[in-house]
Amino acid sequence: MRHLILAACALLAACSGPAPAPVEQGMGADPALPAPAPQALPTIRIAKPIGWAEGEAPQPAPGLAVAAFGQPLDHPRQVVALANGDVLVVQSSTQRGPVRSPTDLVRNFIMESAGAGTVSPNRIALLRDANGDGAVELQTTLIDHDLNQPYGAAQVGAWLYVANTDALVRFPYSDGQTTITAPAERVLDLPYHAPDNGHWTRNLILSPDKTKLYIAVGSASNIGDYGMAAEARRAAVWEVDVATHQARVYAEGLRNPVGMDFVPGTAKLWTVVNERDMLGDDLVPDYMTEVVDGAFYGWPYSYFGQNRDPRVEADAAAEALIARARTPDYALGAHTASLGLVFYAGAALPARYRGGAFVGQHGSWNRAAPSGYKVIFVPFAGGAPSGPPEDVLTGFLNARGEAMGRPVGVAVDRAGALLVADDVGDRIWRVTPAR
């Protein structure tokens, strides 16, 4: 009965507005932003997860090739290339939350239908391809303890830092180590509201000078639904001093920042951000942007700069925030669920990719026409986007609209190949030049 009720609500929501515009209109430095159309229930169009059959793979762009890297994993979300060439794969999942409203019921239904809402694997695997030929000689579990929905990981000297959903922890680690049995040391607490933690991913990146860690902390809700007290120090990127472990909010008003990377050769931090729901098929575009110290990016009061969200009341303090809301640098399309970000500083792929950004788009669940479900490339020049996005890896949806896979985190290995975590296909894909 629950599924029938939700399916009926989804059908009504899907039929309540005009057909969506081409997703490309909501991309670039100056995206089209239609008038907001607040919804009581979201449009629901879920790609049924079916995984990859033997011999199937995503479709690479011309001039590129793709192959599975290592053996199948359990819900791989983030992939981290270590300096010694080893690759870490963080395996974790969204978990079912409590039901306190019809929206919560819809949320759980969506997660379950999309292949999430299960028990999180809470595991980090290590994959070793010593000669860079694309064949993994060793695949093993590096850590399977003291992890609570882990997402980000970063090596800092003799430590491996891991961002759990509720805390930054670290494990003693040395290059080449294949198993960690030592207990985690808790470094600092992160915002966490049990049993419903909202946007739970906590990505992690080390600054180029190795003195700071940056942590992406998503909001607890769509638009401050539980009150702004529940959003304290959330919807933000944190900065943590490596030497003292002192933390501060570096930038805020970022609804759900996930992927992060530094523009090659600079100290400019960028992130991809998942924007708010239930304003229509074509609002609000997800985006990528430079993360500026002290900046405010609008959430929940405004979007893409100072465009007001009609559903959110603003007091005097909020009005002051809206007045200084920074417009993001580059829109990535509405509801694309852009989760992965890596700048290309390798040499294996064609030269035109150097310096640009690869973005893993997990794909929509709340748009009448699907968006995302691919890996795209955004060219950069002079440290800023310089052209329209290009498809790099497609074919994650079949002709029936079912999901063989959904791309998440992206990284570049020591050989210069692009690695893509696929949490529905339970694969890591490795993209190389075509031969």
| 14 Cβ contact partners less than 8 Å away, ≥ 6 residues apart | 43, 44, 45, 368
Return the higher-pLDDT residue of 287 and 195. 287
CATH code at position 13: 2.120.10.30
Q: Quote the CA–CA distance of 21 and 36 in Å, as a whole number.
A: 14
273 domain-assigned: yes
Q: Quote the CA–CA distance of 374 and 215 in Å, as a whole number.
A: 25
pLDDT for res 17: 59
pLDDT tens-place string over residues 175-230: 999 999 999 999 999 999 877 789 999 999 999 999 999 999 999 999 999 999 99
pLDDT-derived band at 13 (thresholds 50, 70, 90) equals very low
31 domain-assigned: no
pLDDT for res 5: 43
Predicted confidence (pLDDT) at residue 111 exceeds the cutoff of 60:
no
Measure Cα distances from 277 to 126, 256, 285 in Å.
Answer: 36, 12, 10
Contact (CB, 8 A) for 295 and 326: yes
25 domain-assigned: no
CB atoms within 10 A of CB 418: 28
84 domain-assigned: yes
139 domain-assigned: yes
Residue type, 133: D
Lowest average pLDDT, out of 37-46, 72-81, 160-169, goes to 37-46
Predicted confidence (pLDDT) at residue 8 exceeds the cutoff of 60:
no
29 domain-assigned: no
Residues 321-348 have a mean pLDDT of 98
Predicted confidence (pLDDT) at residue 299 exceeds the cutoff of 90:
yes
pLDDT for res 108: 59
Please work out, in degrees rounded to the nearest 5, the angle formed at the alpha carbon of residue 13 by the alpha carbons of 258 and 398. 60
pLDDT tens-place string over residues 222-245: 999 999 999 999 999 999 999 999
23 domain-assigned: no
CB atoms within 10 A of CB 127: 23
B/e letters for 226-265, b = 16+ CB within 10 Å, e = fewer, are: eeeebbeebbbbbbbebeeeebeebbbbbbbbbbbbbbbe
Range of the domain at 149: 2-18+38-433
| 46 Cβ contact partners less than 8 Å away, ≥ 6 residues apart | 110, 113, 114, 365
pLDDT-derived band at 15 (thresholds 50, 70, 90) equals very low
Percent of the chain with pLDDT over 90: 88
pLDDT-derived band at 117 (thresholds 50, 70, 90) equals low
Distance from the first to the final alpha carbon of the chain: 53
Q: Which helix (H) or strand (E) holds 432?
A: strand 427-433
Predicted confidence (pLDDT) at residue 100 exceeds the cutoff of 80:
no
**How many domains are there within the chain?**
1
Quote the pTM value.
0.94
Residues 143-150 have a mean pLDDT of 98
274 domain-assigned: yes
Measure Cα distances from 275 to 148, 284, 289, 391 in Å.
Answer: 25, 6, 12, 21
pLDDT for res 112: 62
Looking at every residue in the chain, the average pLDDT score rounds to 93
pLDDT tens-place string over residues 380-423: 999 999 999 999 999 999 999 999 999 999 999 999 999 999 99
